Structure 1
Amino acid sequence: MFGLSDVPKFILAFFIVLPVISILHEFGHVFFAWIMGGKNIKVSIGSGKSIFKIGMLDIRQYYFWYGLCTFENLPKRERFGNILIFSGGVLFNIIGIAAIGLLIQHDVLEANIFTYQFTYFSWYYIFFAILPMPYPDGNYSDGKIVWDLIKNKQDVIKERTYQVKWIDEEQHWHVLDHNNSVVRNYEDEEEAIKMAIQIAEGNKPSRVLSERTEGEVKEIHNYPRTPL
């Protein structure tokens, strides 16, 4: 039964241990993204507004909940590289568990509530990362991405581009999908952009471009397929 004596354990687990595990997990993704030539690599720990940034690391208001890694498309060996990147978080969590076990075994660390919680919640993290499932926000679990890539379903990493384009002849804004087909026409630019963003959010990785005049293209939003 949960009592007052368990409150310190709760605080330790959710406000210290879980963020440590999350950082380790994200840097597993970062390590392989870097090895495979990914550019503009960034890591966000937590959710909500940003509190502070150190290099590629962005710590957010609710630092104990959620985390993700973003990177630009790989220059080569994209399928193999993404398998490594999306597996990297789980691999680093497993390495963390093994390291804690070895340190305890060799009397470098004592078994205590921290080491117990670290091991327990690491396995929790691993389970939900490798479970092949979609998330409500349009992202997929790391496990689903890896499994699809192993089966050579590369649509999960193929970026789709959606455009909002002004057509003088028709005096309308066209929303174009990744096949350059018209999804819908709008008189108002904001409504067209809103529709393009809605479609892009549900089809990650994707981006939304706006073209006002011939040759003037501006990126409005980018929704990468992010390792979580």
Structure 2
Amino acid sequence: MFGISDIPKFLLAFFLVLPLISILHEAGHVFFAWLMGAKNIRIVVGSGKPVFNHGILEIRQYYFWYGFCTFENIERKEKLANILIFSGGALFNLLSTIAVILLVENDVLKAGMLTYQFTYFSMYYVFFALLPMLYPGGNFSDGKVILELLKNKKEVVKERTYRLKCKAKDKEWEVLNHRNELIQTFDKEEDALDKARKLAQEHRPSRIIRIKGDDEKEIQNYPRIPL
């Protein structure tokens, strides 16, 4: 039974176990994204100002609340690939929960507040990640994206296309939006690309196409961010 003496253990579990579960959740997403050829992978744990960066991991001030991951340039974009990416977080949480239960049952780990909170919060993550709903701010839950994909409603992962186009006569570079409307003209390709990248990152899912003469090539894509 839970008592007053268990409150410090509960707080310890909350501030240590919950961030670990968040890392495992995001690791599930990026694992499958990596299998699909993703580059520039990043896992962000917590909210607020960044306080720690190492490799692909970023820890923020309120490290025990919220998390997400980002990646670019996935090579495989078909329905199954996206379903695997968006279900990866819940799958890793579920597998880690089963692993902890088996370790406890086989006396490798001792049952206690930490193991209880790990399994409890892990299943919490699984439930709310897979529950098909809209989050505040208009973001889709992982389950909502998966459901829409299973219903063949590919609009959830349909990309906006931003174009980087070279004007042959004066060698200027135009940045065009997804409606093929001119946004801005630049003298240098690098400046135009920076502008296109900022727009594409702000409006995920999106991609950037470079057009020079008859050559048209995708140079970057920014998939929808799993939460």
What is the TM-score of this pair, normalised by structure 1?
A: 0.73
1:65 and 1:162 mapped to 2: Cα distance? 34
Aligned-residue offset at 1:155: 1.4
Post-superposition offset of 1:53 = 0.9
Distance 1:207 1:160 in 2: 6
Give 1:78 shift: 2.9
Q: How many residues align?
A: 194
Residues 1:44 and 1:128: Cα distance change in structure 2 (over 3 Å): same
Shift of 1:43: 0.6
Residue in 1 aligned with 2:118?
118
Please state if 1:19 is matched with 2:31.
no
Check conservation: 2:72, 2:222, Cα contact below 8 A.
no
**Contact map agreement 1:87 1:142 (CA 8 A) in 2:** yes
Q: Secondary structure at the match of 2:72?
A: coil
1:68 is matched with: 68
Residues 12/207 of structure 1: CA separation in 2 closer, same or farther (3 Å cut): farther
Q: Is the 8 A contact 1:29 1:86 kept in 2?
A: yes
Map 1:134-145 → 2, pairs under 5 A: 134-145=134-145
Stretches (4+) displaced over 6 A: none
Task: Report the Cα distance in structure 2 between the residues aligned to 1:17 and 1:40, rounded to whole angstroms.
Answer: 27
Give deviations 1:10-57, integer Å, cap 9, x for gaps: 422321111011011110111111111111111101111111111111
Which residue of the partner structure matches residue 227 of structure 1?
Answer: 226
3-state SS of paired residue (1:59): strand
Cα pair distance change 1:145/1:207, threshold 3 Å = same
Kindly state the Cα deviation for residue 4 of structure 1 after the two structures are TM-superposed: 5.3
Aligned-pair CA distance for 1:159: 2.1
User: Unmatched 5+ residue regions in structure 1?
Assistant: 164-175, 184-192, 209-221
1:148 maps to what in 2? 148
User: Corresponding residue for 2:131?
Assistant: 131
Which amino acid in the other structure matches residue 5 of structure 2? S
In structure 1, the residue matched to 2:187 is none
1:94-114 CA deviation, whole Å, 9 max, x = no partner? 101110011011110111100
- Per the alignment, do residues 150 and 22 of structure 1 end up closer, same or farther by CA in structure 2, a change over 3 Å counting? same
Residues 30 and 69 in structure 1, CA contact (< 8 A), matched pair in contact too:
yes
Report the counterpart of residue 95 of structure 1 in structure 2: 95
How many Å apart are 1:207 and its aligned residue?
Answer: 7.7
Could you tell me the percent identity over the aligned residues? Answer: 63
Matched-pair contact (CA < 8 Å) for 1:70–1:226: yes
1:212 paired residue number: none
Aligned to 1:83: 83
Per the TM alignment, residue 136 of structure 1 is displaced from its structure 2 partner at its CA by: 1.7
Confirm or deny that 1:30 pairs with 2:51. no
* Superposition pairs of residues 185-196 of structure 1, within 5 angstroms: none
Answer whether contact 2:10 2:113 (CA < 8 A) is retained.
no
